[in-house]
Amino acid sequence: MIPRPLHLANEALAFLLEIAALAVLAWWGVRTGDGVLLKAVLGIGAPAVAAVVWGLFAAPKARVRLPLPAVLLVKLLVFGAATAALYGLDHPGLALGFAVIVVANTAIVSLDRDALVRNRA
89-110: per-residue pLDDT in tens?
999 999 999 999 999 999 998 8
pLDDT above 90 coverage of the chain, percent: 80
Task: Report how far residue 21's alpha carbon sits from residue 81's, in angstroms, rounded to the nearest whole number.
Answer: 8
Judged against a pLDDT cut of 80, whether residue 113 lies above it is answered with: no
Q: Is the pLDDT of residue 79 over 80?
A: yes
Confidence of residue 114 (pLDDT cuts 50, 70, 90): low
Q: Is the pLDDT of residue 117 over 80?
A: no
Res 3 pLDDT > 80: yes
Domain total for the chain?
A: 1
pLDDT at 118 over 60: no
Give the mean pLDDT of the chain: 92
Cβ 26 vs Cβ 46: under 8 Å? yes
Alpha-carbon distances, residue 41 vs 22, 35, 73, 88, 89 (angstroms) = 14, 10, 25, 18, 18
DSSP alpha helices (H): ranges in the chain? 4-32, 35-57, 68-88, 92-120
Query: pLDDT of 18-39, one tens digit each?
Result: 999 999 999 999 999 899 999 9
The residue segments making up the domain with residue 48 are 4-120
